[in-house]
Structure 1
């Protein structure tokens, strides 16, 4: 009983930043299980909460100040962008707080302790070659609060403008239309990055890691089996990645297994790395 009480107290204090994800946050993960084979002392789970509800899950690197991935459930939408939402931060990453929710950036001076564990708006002010690219994009959500919750810097990575505007945003449209049209049940999506040491610097200090590649995968086991073949073979799961650069940045689509093989060669995942349990092969199909 004492151990249980201590566990509950720790969970209450921890708020949105969690070493082990709570059941209400695991709803955004296929089979309630996060990607395996990603472990490092600088990585922390964030249950992204907004307006009193959990919205999605992020694995955040508190040293490089970027999300490693965000995991969310796709909501059928018309792709409309959210407007007039302030950029937010995660209070729980840096300080004890009485809220477990993301908050709008405060005006004025930000205490150094705040900047130690996450990116701040000033990090992007003079980074003229980059845009803030959301791993969970607002156009993959429908509810206004779900859309608003994507506007936190803990869900954002610096993307090269040409790649973001001309390539990656278009791929987000492609996936939205595909899942809108052919996914009948819940689609779980994980979108992440690889890094190789390139950083945005501010005041001669490394602040935010610049992704080398950005990748994404979805899992929808309940889909339209009468869909045209050129779409049907991309279910129940499919994946893609692109090089975050001005050139040679076309998006490559592939199976989950091929993406995992690629990531094992290009980032710090271990040999057991798996994005979805059993690569999104439902138990009934085995």
Structure 2
């Protein structure tokens, strides 16, 4: 069994993975649904056994994904470990709804170098808490349905050699994640965001923030043009 990667010029080809079929805004990269530099940034519909499972926007210059996005429903580099980095997946295996989707998360274009302690510690804890929150609260029409987008802010590779893994793969400075869903039982939209510096530290967890705070801090509109509550903080811990 083999993972496949379909490259497309337009986000229209994979719009089913975005909330209300509207991609997020990433300053100077993806704005108004348009990839600004199509030579550098490639949209990849991650595909396994002829099934599209999630979408990745890949930076060919930094050799690193900008983000991976998926519609979550019910039904893990050579020598990198010597530098205490994990091959972190943006769209995590735990969010996948079936075996096909789980296997498809292992593509290189879905991977970024993550500091091991950060990846296995508070980032992993956040992923588990968000997944549990989605399973328990994002029920619509008797099914769990939620939208998640996870991204990586690249380091300035021109400033220091330490921003590259093996002198070629950009090590992101910040990892961020956002989710949004409608809860039919609560009759309202639920949303939240998390982000943290890609470094080892002793903080125990990542605080849940609003989508508005994500935009204010990183300039990222995770779910633009939607009814998702930008100023709502939904505590997932």
Bucket of the pairwise TM-score, normalised by the shorter protein? 0.7 to 0.9
Question: Is 2:89–2:111's contact at 8 Å kept on the other side of the alignment?
Answer: yes
Map 1:3-22 → 2, pairs under 5 A = 16-22=6-12
Which residue in the other structure is 2:16 paired with?
Answer: 27
Structure 1 residue 128 displacement after superposition: 3.0
Tell me how many residue pairs correspond in the alignment.
Answer: 206
Question: Is 1:76–1:140's contact at 8 Å kept on the other side of the alignment?
Answer: no
Question: Is 1:31–1:277's contact at 8 Å kept on the other side of the alignment?
Answer: no
Which residue in the other structure is 1:238 paired with?
Answer: 192
| Higher CA-based Rg | 1
Q: Distance between the aligned counterparts of 2:101 and 2:192, measured in 1? A: 24
**Pair 1:274-2:221 in alignment:** yes
* Partner SS, residue 11 of structure 2: coil
Q: Distance between the aligned counterparts of 1:125 and 1:256, measured in 2? A: 32
Cα distance change of structure 1 residues 19 and 131 upon mapping to structure 2, 3 Å threshold = same
Question: Is 1:74–1:188's contact at 8 Å kept on the other side of the alignment?
Answer: yes
Q: Distance between the aligned counterparts of 2:217 and 2:181, measured in 1? A: 22
Structure 1 residue 26 displacement after superposition: 1.3
Which residue in the other structure is 2:60 paired with?
Answer: 62
Q: Distance between the aligned counterparts of 1:281 and 1:136, measured in 2? A: 21
Any unmatched runs of 5+ in structure 1? 1-14, 78-86, 88-120, 227-231, 265-272
**Pair 1:193-2:191 in alignment:** no
Q: Distance between the aligned counterparts of 1:251 and 1:223, measured in 2? A: 27
Question: Is 2:165–2:171's contact at 8 Å kept on the other side of the alignment?
Answer: no
Structure 1 residue 223 displacement after superposition: 4.3
* Partner SS, residue 236 of structure 1: strand
Question: Is 1:193–1:214's contact at 8 Å kept on the other side of the alignment?
Answer: yes
Any unmatched runs of 5+ in structure 2? 31-35, 157-161, 230-237
Using structure 1 for the length normalisation, give the TM-score.
0.66
Q: Distance between the aligned counterparts of 1:246 and 1:141, measured in 2? A: 27
Judging by fraction of residues, say which structure has more strand: 2
Q: Distance between the aligned counterparts of 1:278 and 1:61, measured in 2? A: 25
Using structure 2 for the length normalisation, give the TM-score.
0.79
* Partner SS, residue 123 of structure 2: helix
Structure 1 residue 193 displacement after superposition: 1.2
CA RMSD of aligned residues (A): 2.3
Judging by fraction of residues, say which structure has more helix: 1
Structure 1 residue 143 displacement after superposition: 0.6
